[in-house]
Structure 1
Amino acid sequence: MDTNRIKRFATEARNILKAGIAAKITTLGFDKNGNVAEENKPQLMQGGSLWNEQLQTEGFYYQWMSLYNRIQQKGISEVYEEAAYTWFNRLCAIRILQKNNLCSPVLAYADAARTPVIVDEARQGRIPQMKEELRQRLVELLDDDTKVTEQFAILITAWCHDNPIINQCFGSIADYTELLLPNNILAEGGFVDMLNHTEFITDEDFQSPELIGWLYQFYISERKDEVFAKKGKFEADEIPAATQIFTPNWIVKYMVQNTVGRIYLDNNPYETQLQKKWQYLVEPSEMPDEKNTLRYNELTDLKVADLACGSGHILNECFDLLYDLYIAEGYGRGEAVENIFSHNLTGIDLDTRAKQLSQFALMLKACQKDAAFADAHILPHVMDMAHVNPKMDEKALSEACLEFMGGYEDVTGEMLAEDFELLKEAEDLGSIMCFNNDKEYLSMLRHKYAEWTENGTDDCPKNIKQLLPGVQVILALTENYHVLVMNPPYMKSGNMNSVLSKYVKDNYEEGKADLFSVFMQMGMERLVDGGKMAQINMQSWMFLSSFENLRVIFLHNYIIDNMLHLGPRTFDELSGEVVQNTAFVLTKPHDPYGGITLAEIKALPKSEQEVWKQRFYEDTEKDMDESFLGNPKGIYYRLVDGKNCADKKQLFLANKDGNEDGKHIYYPNVEQLNFGKIPGCPIGYWVSEKFISKFEGSNLGENSIARSGFSTGNNDRYIRNWYEISKSEEKFDFPSMNVYSSSKIKYVPFTAGGCCRKWYGNLYSVVNWSDTTQMHRPRTTYSQLYFHEALTWNEVTSSSFSARYYPQGLLFEHSGVSMFPNDNKYYYLGLLNTPILAKYLALMNPTLNNGAEVVSKVPFIYDSQRSLNISDNVQQNIAISKSDWDAHETSWDFQHNELLSIDTSTYMENIDYKIKKHFEETGEHISLSPAAPQLGSLEWRMEQYKTKWERKFMQLHKNEEELNRQFIDIYGLQDELTPDVPLNEITILQQGEISIE
Structure 2
Amino acid sequence: MAFDDKTRGRLQKLVTECRGLLTDEFRIQVQQTYGLDPNTGAVTPLDRLTHLSAAERETADLLRQTLAHYLASEGLADNADHRVPIIDRIVREQAFTVLNRLAALLMMEARGVLLPAVRQGQQSKAFELYKMVAGSALGETGQAYQAFLFSLFDEFAQELPALFDRFAPQGRLFPREAALLQVLAALNHHEIEPLWPQDETIGWIYQYFNSKEERKAMREASQAPRNGRELAVRNQFFTPRYVVEFLVDNTLGRLWYEAGQGASGLRERCQYLLCSPRDVFLRQFDRDDLRPGSVPALVMAAKWDDLPPFDDTDAGLQAMIDFAHCVDGYARVPSEAWDPQTHQSLHEGRFDAYSTQALWDALFMECRTDRHGGDGSIYRTRWFMGACQELLRRCRVTEPQLQVKLIPYRRLRDPRALKLLDPACGSMHFGLYAFDLLLVIYREAWDWEQAHGPGSLDVSTAPDAGLLPLCQTYTDKEDYLRDVPRLVIEHNIYGVDIDPRAAQIASLAVWLRAQRAWHDEGVKAKDRPAVGLGHVIAATAPPAERELREQFAAELDELDAELFRKTLQLLKGVPELGVLLQVERELPRLVRSVFGEHGSLFHEADVEQWRKAEGRLRAALIQFAHATKATYQGRLFAQDALQGLRLIDLCREVFDVVVMNPPFGALAANTKDQLSNSYSRSKSDLLAIMVERGLDLLRAGGRIGAITSRTCFFLSSFQKWREELVLSSARPEIMADLGLGVMDDAMVEAAAYVLEKTA
Q: Give the counterpart of 2:659 among 477, 485, 490.
A: 485
Matched, 1:82 2:93: yes
Q: Where do 5+ consecutive residues of structure 2 fail to align?
A: 68-79, 283-326, 329-406, 447-476, 519-524, 589-601, 628-636
Please give the per-residue CA displacement for 1:702-746, whole angstroms capped at 9, x wherever unaligned: xxxxxxxxxxxxxxxxxxxxxxxxxxxxxxxxxxxxxxxxxxxxx
For residues 89 and 240 of structure 2, what CA distance do their matches in structure 1 show? 30
Alignment of 1:683-722 (within 5 A): none
Q: Structure 1 residue 387: deviation in Å?
A: 6.7
Residue 351 of structure 1: aligned partner: 499
Pick the structure with more helix per residue. 2
Residue 205 of structure 2: aligned partner: 215
For residues 549 and 158 of structure 2, what CA distance do their matches in structure 1 show? 38
Alignment of 1:190-589 (within 5 A): 190-199=182-191, 201-203=192-194, 205-222=195-212, 223-232=214-223, 233-283=225-275, 287=280, 293=408, 295-296=410-411, 297-330=413-446, 332-370=480-518, 371=525, 376-386=530-540, 388-389=542-543, 396=550, 418-437=566-585, 438=588, 439-440=602-603, 443-444=607-608, 447-448=611-612, 467-493=641-667, 496-498=668-670, 500-553=671-724, 554-571=726-743, 575-589=744-758
For residues 220 and 244 of structure 2, what CA distance do their matches in structure 1 show? 30
Residue 968 of structure 1: aligned partner: none
Residue 290 of structure 2: aligned partner: none
Please give the per-residue CA displacement for 1:947-972, whole angstroms capped at 9, x wherever unaligned: xxxxxxxxxxxxxxxxxxxxxxxxxx
Alignment CA distance shift 1:327-1:178 (3 Å): same
- Are the counterparts in 1 of residues 166 and 172 from structure 2 also a CA contact under 8 Å? yes
Alignment of 1:11-90 (within 5 A): 11-28=16-33, 31=37, 33-34=39-40, 43=47, 50-51=50-51, 56-68=52-64, 70=66, 73=83, 74-90=85-101
- Are the counterparts in 1 of residues 267 and 275 from structure 2 also a CA contact under 8 Å? no
Residue 641 of structure 1: aligned partner: none
Q: Structure 1 residue 5: deviation in Å?
A: 1.4
Residue 175 of structure 2: aligned partner: 181
Residue 12 of structure 2: aligned partner: 7
For residues 423 and 251 of structure 1, what CA distance do their matches in structure 2 show? 33
Matched, 1:157 2:150: yes
**TM-score, structure 1 as length reference:** 0.50
Q: Structure 1 residue 469: deviation in Å?
A: 2.7
Alignment CA distance shift 1:120-1:567 (3 Å): same
Q: Structure 1 residue 89: deviation in Å?
A: 0.9
What RMSD in Å do the two structures reach over aligned CA positions?
3.6
Task: For CA contacts below 8 A with separation 6 or more, give which structure has more relative contact order.
Answer: 2
Q: Tell me which amino acid in the other structure corresponds to 2:39.
A: N
Q: Structure 1 residue 258: deviation in Å?
A: 0.8
Residue 134 of structure 2: aligned partner: 126
**TM-score, structure 2 as length reference:** 0.65
Alignment CA distance shift 1:198-1:555 (3 Å): same
For residues 746 and 409 of structure 2, what CA distance do their matches in structure 1 show? 36
Q: Tell me which amino acid in the other structure corresponds to 2:260.
A: N
- Are the counterparts in 1 of residues 538 and 643 from structure 2 also a CA contact under 8 Å? no
Please give the per-residue CA displacement for 1:857-905, whole angstroms capped at 9, x wherever unaligned: xxxxxxxxxxxxxxxxxxxxxxxxxxxxxxxxxxxxxxxxxxxxxxxxx
Q: Structure 1 residue 261: deviation in Å?
A: 1.3
Please give the per-residue CA displacement for 1:178-202, whole angstroms capped at 9, x wherever unaligned: 5551553244xx2111112222x23
Q: Where do 5+ consecutive residues of structure 1 fail to align?
A: 128-137, 592-997
Alignment CA distance shift 1:250-1:466 (3 Å): closer
Residue 168 of structure 1: aligned partner: 161
Residue 369 of structure 2: aligned partner: none
Q: Structure 1 residue 464: deviation in Å?
A: 8.9
Give the match's secondary structure for 2:179: coil
For residues 392 and 540 of structure 1, what CA distance do their matches in structure 2 show? 45
Alignment CA distance shift 1:67-1:419 (3 Å): closer
Alignment CA distance shift 1:273-1:227 (3 Å): same
Matched, 1:95 2:106: yes
Q: Structure 1 residue 303: deviation in Å?
A: 1.8
Q: Tell me which amino acid in the other structure corresponds to 2:747.
A: V
Alignment CA distance shift 1:375-1:450 (3 Å): farther
Alignment CA distance shift 1:226-1:87 (3 Å): farther
Alignment CA distance shift 1:378-1:70 (3 Å): closer
Give the match's secondary structure for 1:479: coil
Q: Tell me which amino acid in the other structure corresponds to 1:219.
A: F
Give the match's secondary structure for 1:184: helix
Alignment CA distance shift 1:454-1:544 (3 Å): closer
Alignment CA distance shift 1:323-1:447 (3 Å): farther
For residues 400 and 274 of structure 1, what CA distance do their matches in structure 2 show? 55
- Are the counterparts in 2 of residues 534 and 585 from structure 1 also a CA contact under 8 Å? yes
Alignment CA distance shift 1:152-1:322 (3 Å): same
Alignment CA distance shift 1:348-1:35 (3 Å): closer
Alignment CA distance shift 1:466-1:519 (3 Å): closer
Q: Tell me which amino acid in the other structure corresponds to 2:536.
A: V
Q: Structure 1 residue 549: deviation in Å?
A: 1.3
Aligned residues: 546
Alignment CA distance shift 1:450-1:19 (3 Å): closer
Q: Tell me which amino acid in the other structure corresponds to 2:654.
A: N
- Are the counterparts in 2 of residues 390 and 397 from structure 1 also a CA contact under 8 Å? no
- Are the counterparts in 1 of residues 156 and 164 from structure 2 also a CA contact under 8 Å? no
Give the match's secondary structure for 1:185: helix
For residues 457 and 67 of structure 1, what CA distance do their matches in structure 2 show? 22
Please give the per-residue CA displacement for 1:641-681, whole angstroms capped at 9, x wherever unaligned: xxxxxxxxxxxxxxxxxxxxxxxxxxxxxxxxxxxxxxxxx
Alignment CA distance shift 1:400-1:279 (3 Å): farther
For residues 266 and 82 of structure 1, what CA distance do their matches in structure 2 show? 44
Q: Structure 1 residue 32: deviation in Å?
A: 5.1
Give the match's secondary structure for 2:692: helix
Give the match's secondary structure for 1:564: strand
Please give the per-residue CA displacement for 1:504-537, whole angstroms capped at 9, x wherever unaligned: 1110122122211110111111111111111111
For residues 60 and 664 of structure 2, what CA distance do their matches in structure 1 show? 39
Alignment CA distance shift 1:388-1:546 (3 Å): same
Q: Tell me which amino acid in the other structure corresponds to 1:549.
A: K
For residues 252 and 217 of structure 2, what CA distance do their matches in structure 1 show? 38
Q: Tell me which amino acid in the other structure corresponds to 1:50.
A: T
For residues 398 and 22 of structure 1, what CA distance do their matches in structure 2 show? 34
Q: Structure 1 residue 350: deviation in Å?
A: 1.1
